[in-house]
Amino acid sequence: MATIIVEGKGAIACASGRRLVLCIEDAGIDILHRCGGNARCTTCRVEILDGEPGEMNQRERDRLAREDKLASNIRLSCQITAESDLTVRVINRLSTSGLDDPGPRPEE
């Protein structure tokens, strides 16, 4: 079990191996995930403020490489599996997006 501290929300528990985006959403935080967890968009981006999110897979690396000027601590929460404690800031929220829904729910 990993403890995820979400800036502005507090600590949430996340089962080891579970996608970070699902832990965040299930804690009631309105994170976007427009491509359904397939690393095709970047709406589920989080800023890693503390902790080690694990190695970036090739799909995530390729997608983030197409964005201009992203800090090295920006990651796709749909591609991170909870393995250790993290502190993150959710970048894109449904409540401020003007969209009707966050996108298809990523698979467990």
Whether residue 108 lies inside any domain: the answer is: no
CB 42 within 8 A of CB 63: yes
Q: Mean pLDDT, to the nearest integer, of 37-55? A: 96
Examine the pLDDT at 69 and tell me if it is beyond 90: no
Whether residue 7 lies inside any domain: the answer is: yes
Angle at 50 between CA 93 and CA 56, to 5 degrees: 75
Whether residue 72 lies inside any domain: the answer is: yes
Its domain, for residue 87, covers 2-95
SS in 3 state form for 42-67?
A: CCCEEEEEEECCCCCCHHHHHHHHCC
Q: Mean pLDDT, to the nearest integer, of 40-55? A: 96
C-alpha to C-alpha distance for 71 and 53, rounded to whole angstroms: 15
Q: What's the mean per-residue pLDDT of the chain?
A: 96
CATH number of the domain where residue 10 is located: 3.10.20.30
Provide the whole-model pTM: 0.94
Whether residue 9 lies inside any domain: the answer is: yes
CB 45 within 8 A of CB 31: no
Whether residue 69 lies inside any domain: the answer is: yes
pLDDT in tens, 3-15: 999 999 999 999 9
Q: Mean pLDDT, to the nearest integer, of 22-27? A: 98
- Could you give the number of structural domains in the chain? 1
